[in-house]
């Protein structure tokens, strides 16, 4: 496999990781729907545990996307490094919004909006 094909494969894998992370975050937020009222009560440790799980998964997905960019940048032309960097920042932002910010804000919505 030459460097161009490898970069294309890594690009596709990074897109798959990003898409999966976004869909998982949306699916998790949607699945919270009927349980959200129970989770928004201030009793127990369910909220912090779920929030930490969301943040942990977000960190793993962001690391995977960053690592794919790192591997690709070692095999591509220097003129394309900026493109990979910008797209990776966008992918990480999308993962952070949909896999951490959305579910965590849904879990803590009552506490956020009651102030």
Task: Give pLDDT tens digits for 86-103.
Answer: 999 999 999 999 999 988
Closest CA to 1 of 72, 70, 59: 72
Asked if residue 76 has pLDDT above 80, the reply is yes
pLDDT tens, residue by residue, 40-63: 666 667 788 888 999 999 999 999
- Dihedral angle over CA of 35, 37, 39, 43, nearest 10: -140
CA angle 99, 101, 106 (to 5 degrees): 100
Contact 99, 58 (CB under 8 A): yes
CB-based contacts of 71, cutoff 8 Å, min separation 6: 10
pLDDT tens, residue by residue, 5-23: 998 999 999 999 999 999 9
Asked if residue 113 has pLDDT above 80, the reply is no
Number of structural domains in the chain: 1
Q: Where are the beta strands (DSSP E) in 17-108?
A: none
Question: Which structural domain, as residue segments, surrounds residue 76?
Answer: 3-113
């Amino acid at each position: 496999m030459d460097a161009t094909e490898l970069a294309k494969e890594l690009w596709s894998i990074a897109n798959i990781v990003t898409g999966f992370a976004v869909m998982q975050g949306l699916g998790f937020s949607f699945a919270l729907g009927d349980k959200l009222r129970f989770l928004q009560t201030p009793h127990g440790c369910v909220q912090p545990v779920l929030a930490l799980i969301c943040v942990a998964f977000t960190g793993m997905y962001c690391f995977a996307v960053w690592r794919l960019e790192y591997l690709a940048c070692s095999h591509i032309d220097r003129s394309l490094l900026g493109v990979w960097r910008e797209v990776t920042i966008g992918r990480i932002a999308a993962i952070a919004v949909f896999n951490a910010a959305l579910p965590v804000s849904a879990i803590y919505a009552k506490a956020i909006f009651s102030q």
